[in-house]
Amino acid sequence: MNLETLVTEYPQIKDLITEQPTFWRNPDYALKADLPFSKADIFDAVARLDRFAPYLAKVFPETMVTNGIIESPLISLDNMQTAWEQQNHHELAGHLYLKADSELPISGSIKSRGGIYEVLKFAEKIATTHGSLAYMDDYSVLATDEFRQLFADYGVIVASTGNLALSVGIVAATFGFETTVYMSHDARQWKKDRLRENGVTVKEFNTNFSAVIPKARADAALDPNIHFVDDEGSNDLFLGYAVAAVRLQKQLKEQQIKVDQDHPVIVYLPAGVGGSPSGVTFGLKTILGPHVHAIFCEPTHVPSVTLGMMTKLNDQISVYDIGLDGLTAADGLAVGRPSRLAGKVMRTLLFGSVTFPDNDIYRYVAQLQDTQDIIVEPSAAAGFTGIAPTIKNMPAFNTQNATHIVWATGGSMMPQSEREANYAKGQQLLHQPKKVLI
Ligand SMILES: *Cc1c(COP(=O)(O)O)cnc(C)c1O
């Protein structure tokens, strides 16, 4: 791949190379395409999560109130909307909501969808093929010694910048699997500590995620009893994320939020490797149809999915190839090479993407806490950065009938010291003059 040729063909790469905040509109949006998954795949995942609900309610008491279903609230953000308008000097005509995956049980992040789902699927396979589990059993039986002993003969390996390791690690270790996580240099210390407390082996690496994941994959391949959770291309992760759409459909209905030609819904999703936002977007487009539009949000230093999709090279290009350092305070988004799956499935489903400087997300972290008393981690505030560039480029989305949903992807498990440090940084930035985006 020759960079000069790429820049000639896709001039907007210059914005990425120079770390300019940018809005990329996907030219292939809404074209016809064959997709590798169907609605039936989503409902297969829904049914599996339902089968495991009695197990989850038993071993993770925090899921007892929802009978073992892992779900997050959809929250109306009236005060935050006012703050957003003041900060951006622009009216947001529709309504602003937060899909608070930051409050998902077990990992406190969106990884409680895909990561946990993949471990459940692996456990079900072992328990039905090598153990006595029948599909119609009460799955809480999997918490007994009989099954724990069975699971101890098997292992799970995952590489992560932090949150995927938390979700996969905690659940896999709870089943009794021999569990090892490979952590990149950006992984927070508290996440490693939390995993070790849960009996997970943590291997620490001084390199970025894209360099760590091949090591984990190679080690997992040495033992047929080890399952590798592949963040760069797993179908199970993808479908676990997609289930969010079925749950959101119900929440939209309950809150009387319409989705149709005259009532567009715009969803803003932080993207790292691109797996979680793509899984969610595939689900939304499949379940809710053409009037829901997804925008991915990435740091200017790590626009991996945007670069891959813009050039159509997907996982064949990384941000390092265009001279970026791949460094960001948003550890959940610190992935320089996109997943093999994301760009391909998103080619016709993603409306567009934006890139933002790190400082913007700290401001939104502080604002969200001030106005709504909701605490998220820096990565999880990225969705707020997508609104201004999107309505600027698509004035049709700035109507009274529009619903803007910021997907808050993580944060409820952060220790108090992290929360305070993030808030303080955001407050400080809020008091400095900021260039106006619109
Ligand atoms: C993982 C993660 C993301 C991005 O998900 P990808 O699948 O890597 O694109 C965003 N925010 C948080 C908090 C995350 O943990």
Q: Which of 98, 101, 110 is the pocket-test mutation for ligand 1 (most atoms within 8 Å of CB)?
A: 110
What's the rounded Cα separation, in Å, for the pair 142 and 124?
Answer: 9
Q: How far is the CA of 35 from the centre of ligand 1 (A)?
A: 23
Residue given tokens 């009216």 in the structure block? 91
Residue 54 lies in a domain: no
Kindly report the number of other CB atoms within 10 A of residue 260's CB atom. Answer: 12
> 253: exposed, middle or buried (C-beta count within 10 Å: 0-12, 13-18, 19+)?
exposed
CA 284 to chain centre: 14
- Looking at 210, 237, 264, the residue that finishes a domain is 237
Overall pTM surpassing 0.95 (yes/no): yes
68 three-class SS? coil
Q: How far is the CA of 409 from the centre of ligand 1 (A)?
A: 7
Question: What separation in angstroms does the CA of 358 have from each of 183, 340, 394, 416?
Answer: 22, 26, 24, 21
- Looking at 220, 237, 254, the residue that finishes a domain is 237
Supply the range of the domain harboring residue 118.
109-237
Q: Which amino acid is at 270?
A: P
Q: Which of 333, 376, 418 is the pocket-test mutation for ligand 1 (most atoms within 8 Å of CB)?
A: 333
Question: What separation in angstroms does the CA of 70 have from each of 107, 108, 109, 186, 375?
Answer: 10, 11, 11, 27, 19
Residues 198 and 318 placed together within one structural domain of the fold: no
Residues 254 and 372 placed together within one structural domain of the fold: yes
Residue 60 lies in a domain: no
Residues 224 and 192 placed together within one structural domain of the fold: yes
pLDDT digits (tens, 9 = 90+) for 187-216: 999 999 999 999 999 999 999 999 999 999
pLDDT digits (tens, 9 = 90+) for 32-85: 999 999 999 999 999 999 999 999 999 999 999 999 999 999 999 999 999 999
Residue given tokens 């690690």 in the structure block? 169
Q: Is the CB of 306 under 6 A from ligand 1?
A: no
Residues 407 and 268 placed together within one structural domain of the fold: yes
Strand partners, 293: 266
Q: Is the CB of 277 under 6 A from ligand 1?
A: yes
Q: Which amino acid is at 288?
A: L
Q: What is the residue with the minimal CA distance to atom 1 of ligand 1?
A: 332
Pairing between β-strand 292-299 and β-strand 155-160 as defined by DSSP bridges: unpaired
pLDDT digits (tens, 9 = 90+) for 336-380: 999 999 999 999 999 999 999 999 999 999 999 999 999 999 999
What's the rounded Cα separation, in Å, for the pair 120 and 342?
Answer: 22
Q: Is the CB of 229 under 6 A from ligand 1?
A: no
CA 159 to chain centre: 15
Taking 70 as the threshold, does the pLDDT of residue 436 lie above it? no
CA 196 to chain centre: 23
Q: How far is the CA of 109 from the centre of ligand 1 (A)?
A: 8
pLDDT digits (tens, 9 = 90+) for 223-232: 999 999 999 9
